[in-house]
Amino acid sequence: MIEITFPDGNSKKYKKGITAVEIAEQISPRLAKEVLAATVNGEPYDLNREITADGSIVLHKWEDDMGKHAFWHSSAHLMAGALEALYPGIKFGIGPAIENGFYYDVDPGEDRIITDSDLPAIENKMKEMASQNLTYSRKQISKKEAMELFSKKGDEYKTELIGELEDGTISLYTQGEFTDLCRGPHLLSTEPIKAIKLTSVAGAYWRGDEKRKMLTRIYGISFPKQKLLDEYLLFLEEAKRRDHRRIGKELELFTFSPNVGMGLPLWLPKGAAIRQTLIDFLTSILKKKGYKIVTTPHIGNVSLYKTSGHFEKYGKDSFQPISTPQEGEQFMLKPMNCPHHCEIYNATPHSYKDLPIKMAEFGTVYRYEQSGELHGLTRVRSFTQDDAHIYCRPDQLQEEFMSIVDDVLLIFRSLDFKEFSAQISLRDPENKEKYIGSEENWEKAEKAIVEAANKKGLQTTVELGEAAFYGPKLDFMVRDAIGRKWQLGTIQVDYNLPERFDLTYNGSDNQKHRPIMIHRAIFGSLERFVAVMIENNAGKFPLWLSPEKAVILPISEKFHDYSNNVLQILNNSDICTLIDERSEKIGKKIRDNELKRIPYLLIVGEKEAESGTVSVRKQGEGDKGTMKVEEFIDFIRSEMKKEIAY
C-alpha cells in the first residue's frame, strides 16, 4: 500500500500502482470525468500513469491552469496528427500549450505552404480524429532509440531536440497514427476535445533564431464545450472593439500618415488634450516630490552616444546620424534622454549635501523599430517618455528606489490601474558579455532592486536576461484588451553611465565620489500609456481626462438661444462643452453623443429654459435629474476633484 496526500492535507492509502484517474474515480465518478491532468509529488503526471510510492497528489480540472495546459498540449498533438495525415512528410518543431491555446511549428517541406485558407480543412481533420476517441499513450525509450526513430522519419528538428536531452528522460506519446517526442502529460484520450478553432498562421524562426529556418507556426485553441469556444470568440470580438487603434480613429484622438512616416503618430486635438492633461497631472506630482523639470534638444552629437554606449549597442538599429553641411559633424536623433541629463549634472559641481538630484523631462525620443514590430501607439518610432533621472549617493539608493516605487503605485492608483504586474529584470547569467559595467556593480545593483522590491512587499516575477545593457530594472507591466503584455513604468539602477560620463560629487571627506543613477519612467511612454488606457476603458475616459466634458442637446431650435447662453457660461468656467444644434430628434442626439463618449449630456427644453437649469444625463448611466447651471458647474468640478484625489 502507498499513502497519497491531498491538497487539503487529508491522506488515504491505496494499492501500489494505482493511477490518478482511479483515485479520482473513487472520490466521485463525476470528478473522474472532469479531471484532465495530475501533479504527483510536484511532477506533472499522466492520469493513467502508475503511482508507485507515497506522495502528494493534485488533480487538475479545466478550471485550473494545469488542466488547461494538458488539454491544449494534447490538442497541439492532435493538430500535428491531422497535419501529418494531410501533409505526408511534414516535419515538426515544437508544439506547446500557451496562455490561450496552443501552437505547433512545422516545416511543410519544399514548395508547400500552409495559409489561413488551409485552416478549416486541418480543423475538420482534427475534429474527425478527436471524435474517434484516440488514446494518448506514453512510452519511455532510450536516447538511441529516439534518435533512430526520428532520423528514419527524416525530422531533423526533433533529432536536434533529442540531441540535447538526457538519456533516460525521453518519452514518446502516441495517439492514433501519430507519435511525438514529448515530456507530457497528456489527456487520456482525445474524447474531451469537443470544440476546436485554428486561429492563425505565422512565421516563426526555428528556436527563435533569425539566422535559422523560418517555420510555419499554426495557432489554435480548443475547449471541452462548444459554448466555451463561442464565448472565447465573443471575447475576441469585444477585444477588437476595444482596440485603441480603432477607438483612436473613431474618437479622433490620433492618426498616422504614410506621408509623415510609419510609426510616427500624429496627435489630433482631442488626443493632444488628453496627453497634455496627463503631463500636467504628472508634473504637479513631480514638483511635490522634489523633481526639477529640465528641457533638452531632440538631437545630440554622436560622440555623446559613444560615451554612453548607446551608439555601440544600438547605433546600427537607430535612425542614422544627421550630418551638418560643414566639418562632418554628426548628430543623432536622441534615442534616450539620459546622456543629455548627465551633461546637465556635469554642468555644475555637486556636494554630497545636494544629493539626491532629481531631473525630469517629458522627452521625445526616436528609435528605429523594425517595421514588422510597429503597432498602433504601443510600438512607435517617436514617443515621449515621462523620463527622470535620480543621481544619489550609495547610502541613499535603496530609499530613493523605494520612494519611486511609491510614486508608481500612487499614480497607478489615482488612474485606477489595478491590473498590473511587477517584473524584476536581471542579467542573463550565461550571456554576460551583452552588458557593460563591472561584475561588482551589477551584483550591487541587482541586490538593491531585489531588496527594495521585497521591502515594499511587491509581488514580483524575476526574468533573467531582461535587464537593460547598463543595469537591472524593475518593470511594471499591464495587459491590453486581448491580453498582450506591455511594459509601462520602469525603474533602473545604473552604475555605468555615471562612470562613463565621469559624474562626481564632493563627499564629506572632501574627496570626489561617484553618484549612482536611477532611471525611471512611470507611464513609460505617453503614447503607450494612452493606448493602454483606451483599451482599459474602451474610450470612456474619466471626466478629468476627457477632452470634452459635456454637450448641450437642445430639444428643438426654439431653445438654441438659451442653449448658447449655457454653452458660454460653461466654457467660460473652463468646462469644455459642445452643442448639438442639428435638427434631429432628441433620441438621435443622445445616441450619437453617447457613442462619442462625452461624459455629460445636457438636455435643454422648455422647462430648463424657463428655470435656468439643465437636465443632466451621464454617459453610460442615464438621466441624473435637473440642476441649475451653477449647480452643474460645482457638481462637475467636485466630480473631477474626486477622480484625481491622491
User: Is 306 among the residues that bind RNA (CB under 7 A)?
Assistant: no
Tell me the angle at which helices 143-153 and 156-163 cross, rounded to the nearest 10 degrees. 160
Is residue 587 a contact residue for RNA (CB under 7 A)? yes
> Residue length, the chain?
646
**How far apart are alpha carbons 392 and 345 in whole angstroms?**
11
Site string for RNA, 316-335 (x = CB under 7 A): -xx----------------x
Q: Does 601 bind RNA (CB under 7 A)?
A: yes
Per DSSP, the three-state class of 409 is: helix
Site string for RNA, 96-115 (x = CB under 7 A): -----------------x-x
State which residue, 77 or 597, has the beta carbon closest to RNA.
597
CA distances from 497 to 391, 410, 436, 437, 505 (A): 11, 28, 10, 9, 15
Q: Where are the alpha helices (DSSP H) in 456-546?
A: 496-500, 526-537
Q: Is 38 helix (H, G, I), strand (E, B) or coil?
A: strand
Closest CA to 218 of 346, 93, 38, 59: 93
Closest-CA residue to 388 (of 348, 352, 344, 438): 344
Question: Closest separation between CB of residue 496 and RNA, Å?
Answer: 11
Q: Which residues pair with 172 in a beta bridge?
A: 139, 181
Q: Which is nearer to RNA, 64 or 312 (CB)?
A: 312
In the bound state with RNA, the residue whose beta carbon lies nearer, of 208 and 429, is 208
209 lies in the site for RNA, by CB under 7 A = yes
- Tell me which of 221, 338, 516, 570 binds RNA, using CB under 7 A: 338
Is 375 a binder of RNA (CB under 7 A)?
A: yes
**Beta-strand pair 55-60/2-5:** parallel
| CA within 13 Å, CB half, 34 | 11
Q: Binding residue for RNA (CB under 7 A) from 324, 371, 459, 511?
A: 371
Q: Which is nearer to RNA, 281 or 368 (CB)?
A: 368
Q: Identify which range of 11-19, 198-206, 285-293, 627-635 contacts RNA by CB under 7 A.
A: 198-206
Our finding on whether 374 is near RNA (CB under 7 A) is yes
Size of interface with RNA, in residues (CB under 7 A): 79
Question: Does 395 interact with RNA (rule: CB under 7 A)?
Answer: no
Window 459-498: contact mask with RNA (x via CB under 7 A): ---------xx------------x-x-------x------
Please state, in angstroms and rounded to a whole number, the distance separating the CA atoms of residues 533 and 411: 13
Which one of 138, 194, 197, 249 is in contact with RNA (CB under 7 A)?
Answer: 249
Q: Which is nearer to RNA, 59 or 161 (CB)?
A: 161
Q: Judged by CB, which is closer to RNA: 412, or 600?
A: 600
Active site residues: 338, 367, 385, 387, 389, 473, 519
> Segment contacting RNA (CB under 7 A): 128-136, 453-461, 565-573, 602-610?
602-610
Distance CA(590)–CA(580), nearest Å, equals: 10
d(CA 355, CA 520): 17
Using CB under 7 A as the binding rule, the residues of this chain from 251 to 280 that contact RNA are 256, 258, 261-263
| Closest distance to RNA from the beta carbon of 113 (Å) | 5
CA-to-CA distance for 596 and 552, rounded, in angstroms? 13
